Amino acid sequence: MKKTLPYLLLFILALMIWNGITDHGGMHVVFDDGDFDGPVGAVFGTVIGTLVMIFVAVVLALVFAGVGVVLIAALFLGAVLAAISISPLLLPILIPCAIVWLLTRRSAARRDPKQSAA
């Protein structure tokens, strides 16, 4: 699929260009008081459509980037609130862990005096 996708997209683009060159019957653009049809209407409509799609893509990219920043901030806030709300419940578990950690650190410092200096 990865190898055929570019060829498929080029084929569809070629079909769209061929349709725009040979068949303009359905294209009719009204801009202010002027009516554009035929090849001029096709080119004018294609250019306006391309500009509109580029503008929409830029606006959507900015909106999605802003939503992403807000989402990351909300996740961070939720994690901080969860840690704050759980911390009193974890205190009975943390006290024995701290005691064991201090005892192992103290016994390791007695075995290797260089480690305690660092």
**Span 52-64, pLDDT tens digits:** 999 999 999 999 9
CA dist list (Å): 88 to 26, 61, 78, 92, 101: 71, 42, 17, 8, 20
| Alpha-carbon span 72 to 5, nearest angstrom | 34
Quick one: CA dihedral 102, 108, 113, 118, positive or negative? negative
Cα–Cα distance between 89 and 81 in angstroms, integer? 14
Residue 117 in this model has a pLDDT that exceeds 60: no
Residues, the chain: 118
Looking at residue 26, its pLDDT comes to: 65
Domain of 74, in residue numbers = 4-117
Please count the structural domains in the chain: 1
> What's residue 1's pLDDT?
73
